Amino acid sequence: MDTNELLRRYLARERNFQGANLRKINLIGAELNGADLIGADLSGADLRGTQLIDANLSNTDLSRVISCPVKHP
């Protein structure tokens, strides 16, 4: 699945992305709050600025993910 498809489906209120192949996906600044990413492959993904509030990342492959520290107000 590519960035455009994932964001289109998320904007259509889909939240189930269990087991999705999201390897090396660019999600800079994306809002994926509440997404179900159980078992998804996010290896090598660029998650800088991505919001994952209440997202389920159980058993998700986050190896080699590009991210930055979260800043809290």
Q: What CATH number does the domain containing 24 carry? A: 2.160.20.80
Return d(Cα 10, Cα 42) in angstroms, integer. 16
Q: Please, are residues 55 and 32 in contact by the beta-carbon 8 Å criterion?
A: yes
Predicted confidence at residue 67, as pLDDT, reads 86
Q: What percent of the chain clears pLDDT 90, i.e. is strictly above it?
A: 90
Question: In the chain, where does DSSP find H-type helix?
Answer: 3-11
Q: Looking at the 3D structure of the chain, how many domains does it have?
A: 1
Model pTM score: 0.88
Return d(Cα 55, Cα 58) in angstroms, integer. 9
Amino acid at 28: I
For residue 50, what pLDDT band results from cuts at 50, 70 and 90?
very high
**51: containing domain:** 1-73
Predicted confidence at residue 70, as pLDDT, reads 57
Average pLDDT over residues 18-36: 96
Tell me: pLDDT of 11 over 90: yes
